[in-house]
Structure 1
């Protein structure tokens, strides 16, 4: 009996010291203390549970914060259906997909701008000489694309390219420089600053520029300059083995769910480290980043960006106002449906293909996070409408501005 007790204590100690521990990033408060209606917020569980019942997704995490206080922080449903159902916990790690773009890649680029190591008006070909310009009908090159064109999806690059074709030419995994050079040589679909075409390729290019300037991958640079300083201990590319049990599965490929492996094919081709996708995180960690942005670039005494940099990133870039994009962030483009219909002008956010969403509203000091794995087990459903409805419920719950 004594031996069993000792063994149980030892196992408990081992569990405590080997399982990653999370702490909530902001204090929890009732909705009413921050000028919101708990009755209205409580419409969210039924909305999410209906989507789960309709097989839109296995489960979801919702986190809502206002005035630097958490008013809702809940997990619903399951983390997976295959190979067997498992419950979803609030501290589980999601494949953020394209939320990687503003959180890791664009923020890294802006830090380098603050350090004087690049200019947004630098031509892309200054860093990647192979970057091919758009050719007019008479064969003349258009103006060269600049870094801000990449950040606003107005560079003329295509949206995507075939990962299998890239693998045939450069291998799997594909070296970062090889993929960047391949993208640089692709025919452009429009002159810079003339069309908005959402492009993963632009952010892969930006990550390569981070590497060429610093000698570090976007994963290394972001960890050293963003996630580490902010204490975002559950935010990373290529999750370590100790975090795999917390990772929410995505699509089933060749009979096996992707667990802690990035869903995006091009990012997966590069070993999980890319500028367009590849970042994994929790709702709590994502809230830390969002609150840093709301605070003008600072959180808990740690400054990541200057207030002016945050302003420039989160306003519609004036040279391409038609795009509705900031520097890495979505404001009023056709993709900004996760902001809903009721939040005012000035909000910004991003979505992820796997079913993730982040919206930040400076006017009301509100953050709305919805994390799901709607591509599990198959990529057959959409959460576009659900994101909007979640945002509308949250906005309608704000009774005091």
Structure 2
């Protein structure tokens, strides 16, 4: 059912989900097309059309997106495929495919919509070369562009984004949203929608605080890289240098327990390193509960019970690792173990180091680790859907870590504060006049250290992992209009940030909804992220 609404097209089902996703581009025969001309899949309402193959037409975009390119003819004298039409409101038409050798006619370029605020018609395909004295084929017609006197792109894109977020709040998908975007270092749009607290009718404000959950992880990574720059920590240092319990780690050879209840395991091939923790290729698990090994990790739950960061990390490191460290990306508690490494290497509490070296220097005055004493007057209430689909307040959010400072969660922040952090990364380690990292360090963090497998279990394609955040390795495969080289991450309660070096766009979108059996995945924040690429 989810694939019906959200998702990229595939070779077997080339059309994208009706709401969000790119149509499939055929580059060879397979799936639903095994012979003849293969038409590219159509994009969702927000999505690009896929490219055709062997003279197939390019897929059409939805409301926002570009049409796919027509496929070049592969038969003698064959006609190239027609370019797909651009989005109804924003987007370019696709290029026509070239005609086949022997005088084939080039395909027509796709048109931009007559309603489009912005868009260029696709170029017509080149006619095929003549053979045996025959003339070359005619080139296809260029697609028509959007009207030259239409309104500017920026204002309609912002209106569409605001309407979309307000619609999400009115429909009860989440209680509300705050979003802020910068282009080339300058704030270009900020918006709020819905309520921070429904019962008191407190509206979302730009200074509303949110539990940002896993958006804490990139901050933890930056903390570690500060120490690397200062020579107090090495990327290839063994973790056991800072956490003695890591010296005794073993690696499971099966996730199924033996009759005596133990997991079969072998010693480490190589020591677990700081780099492995940053890559999330450490073999460290989380709180999944499917296999016997999962249940051992879940029983040692980092976020359950009491104790300091040191006590909790020592506890989880008694379980066997899932695989030998180094190559396989696994979403677990790597960032929390990294936080303990930072704590030891820095010689001060992790929370104090993060506050003193990142939060305070960047002027993130509304960002802190949540404690029992933290003021709550600006903190958004966490909601979840009940069986009737209605939003109900969550009394004890599952990710709260009162009294200790994990590296994988725990911070509360505002859209404006986190935008400062994201702009620091975009600007090669410096925000305004404050340098947090060197440019070469940011470049290292935002290059893919793991090339594939990131979030693949959730049906998300095109992502690798740098040192502390996701990196787009194939922009055509993602469903949110990320460009190759963009980097981003999200949080458990429906928060996300992204940095797009190629476009200069940096954004933060925040909501506050705890996943549950009746709560949908917070696709609204990702769709808002996609919308932001159209003209903000």
Q: Same fold (TM over 0.5)?
A: yes
Q: CA deviation at 1:210?
A: 1.3
Structure having the higher helix fraction is 1
Question: 1:148 is matched with which residue?
Answer: 275
Pair 1:157 & 2:304 matched: no
Partner SS, residue 149 of structure 1: helix
Distance in 1 between the 2:529 and 2:320 partners? 38
Task: Mark the CA change 1:340 to 1:301 in structure 2 (over 3 Å): closer, same or farther.
Answer: farther
Question: 1:22 is matched with which residue?
Answer: none
Distance in 2 between the 1:130 and 1:325 partners? 26
Deviation string 1:292-312 (CA, Å, 9 cap, x unpaired) is 111111112111000001101
- Correspondences of 1:332-371 after superposition (within 5 Å): 332=472, 340-371=479-510
Q: Tell me which of 222, 227, 231 is aligned to 1:116.
A: 231
Q: Tell me which of 197, 206, 216 is aligned to 1:90.
A: 206
Q: CA deviation at 1:392?
A: 2.0
Q: Tell me which of 111, 123, 128 is aligned to 2:243.
A: 128
Q: CA deviation at 1:52?
A: 1.4
Question: 2:446 is matched with which residue?
Answer: 314
Question: 1:264 is matched with which residue?
Answer: 399
Q: CA deviation at 1:214?
A: 2.0
Deviation string 1:17-58 (CA, Å, 9 cap, x unpaired) is xxxxxxxxxxxxxxx9xx962212211122112221222110
Partner SS, residue 368 of structure 1: strand
Counterpart contact for 1:96–1:352, Cα < 8 Å = yes
Distance in 1 between the 2:183 and 2:520 partners? 27
Partner SS, residue 50 of structure 1: helix
Counterpart contact for 1:95–1:263, Cα < 8 Å = no
Structure possessing the higher relative contact order (Cα contacts under 8 Å, 6 or more residues apart):
1
Task: Mark the CA change 1:121 to 1:43 in structure 2 (over 3 Å): closer, same or farther.
Answer: same
Q: CA deviation at 1:385?
A: 2.5
Counterpart contact for 1:340–1:391, Cα < 8 Å = no
Question: 2:414 is matched with which residue?
Answer: 282
Question: 1:381 is matched with which residue?
Answer: 519
Question: 1:29 is matched with which residue?
Answer: none
Question: 2:71 is matched with which residue?
Answer: none
Counterpart contact for 2:472–2:485, Cα < 8 Å = no
Question: 1:392 is matched with which residue?
Answer: 530
Task: Mark the CA change 1:369 to 1:159 in structure 2 (over 3 Å): closer, same or farther.
Answer: same
Distance in 2 between the 1:343 and 1:102 partners? 18
Task: Mark the CA change 1:264 to 1:333 in structure 2 (over 3 Å): closer, same or farther.
Answer: farther
Aligned residues: 349
Distance in 1 between the 2:223 and 2:433 partners? 19
Q: CA deviation at 1:172?
A: 4.0
Distance in 1 between the 2:517 and 2:410 partners? 17
Question: 2:187 is matched with which residue?
Answer: 70
Q: Tell me which of 170, 190, 209 is aligned to 1:53.
A: 170
Deviation string 1:127-172 (CA, Å, 9 cap, x unpaired) is 11212131557834332221111112111111337899558x9994
Distance in 2 between the 1:300 and 1:368 partners? 17
Q: Tell me which of 181, 187, 190 is aligned to 2:320.
A: 187
Distance in 1 between the 2:186 and 2:514 partners? 31
Question: 2:376 is matched with which residue?
Answer: 244
Q: Which has the larger radius of gyration?
A: 2
Question: 1:21 is matched with which residue?
Answer: none
Distance in 2 between the 1:384 and 1:176 partners? 30
Counterpart contact for 1:250–1:263, Cα < 8 Å = no
